[in-house]
Amino acid sequence: MKNTHYPRFHLAFPVTDLEAARAFYTDILGCATGRESDRWIDFDFFGHQLVAHLVAPEDHPSNVTNAVDGHAVPASHFGVIMEWQQYEQAVEMMKANHIEFVIEPYIRFEGQAGEQATLFVKDPSNNHLEFKAFRNIDMLFAKDF
């Protein structure tokens, strides 16, 4: 059951191939589509509105990384925070669909109050997505663990 009583975010992002984006976001991630044109597609990304806008490959932004926990985390990325079980199911679905992990699933702050699971993947246009889950969602914005 979807929670409809929270603010939704809207994110527009560049893609170099609309049909490849459609296949990835609908067939792999299970996102429904909304309005669309020959230059963009709306996706229901876990209750939030993503809009994939077609750009030429040479106009797609480059990706810079930052070191986090020994991983090269893409500075430009977006994603979703899931329930722990939903995250585990997403990991299995990605493995079953042979999605290549940019950063393999792992646990940060294991055994601590801020324990969280995270992974990174890329869509067909090289946009980076992070999927994560907190053992205790109340730690989402905690400054100290």
On whether residue 120 sits in a domain, the answer given is yes
On whether residue 79 sits in a domain, the answer given is yes
* 37 and 22 Cβ atoms separated by less than 8 Å: no
On whether residue 111 sits in a domain, the answer given is yes
Taking only the tens of pLDDT, the chain with its 145 residues reads: 455 677 899 999 999 999 999 999 999 999 999 999 999 999 999 999 999 999 999 888 877 889 998 999 988 999 999 999 999 999 999 999 999 999 999 999 999 989 999 999 999 999 999 999 999 999 999 887 6
pLDDT of residue 1: 47
pLDDT of residue 62: 72
How many independent structural domains does the chain possess? 2
Indicate which CATH number applies to the domain containing 114: 3.10.180.10
Collapse the DSSP code of 11 into the 3-class scheme (helix H, G, I; strand E, B; otherwise coil) and give the result. strand
Looking at the fold, whether 48 and 101 belong to one and the same domain comes out as no
pLDDT of residue 6: 79
Looking at the fold, whether 139 and 95 belong to one and the same domain comes out as yes
On whether residue 3 sits in a domain, the answer given is no
Looking at the fold, whether 52 and 72 belong to one and the same domain comes out as no
Cβ burial 92-130 (10 Å sphere, 16+ → b, else e):
eebeeeebeebbebeeeeeeeebbbbbbbbbbbbbbbbb
User: What CA–CA distance (Å, rounded) separates 145 from 139?
Assistant: 8
Looking at the fold, whether 113 and 141 belong to one and the same domain comes out as yes
On whether residue 2 sits in a domain, the answer given is no
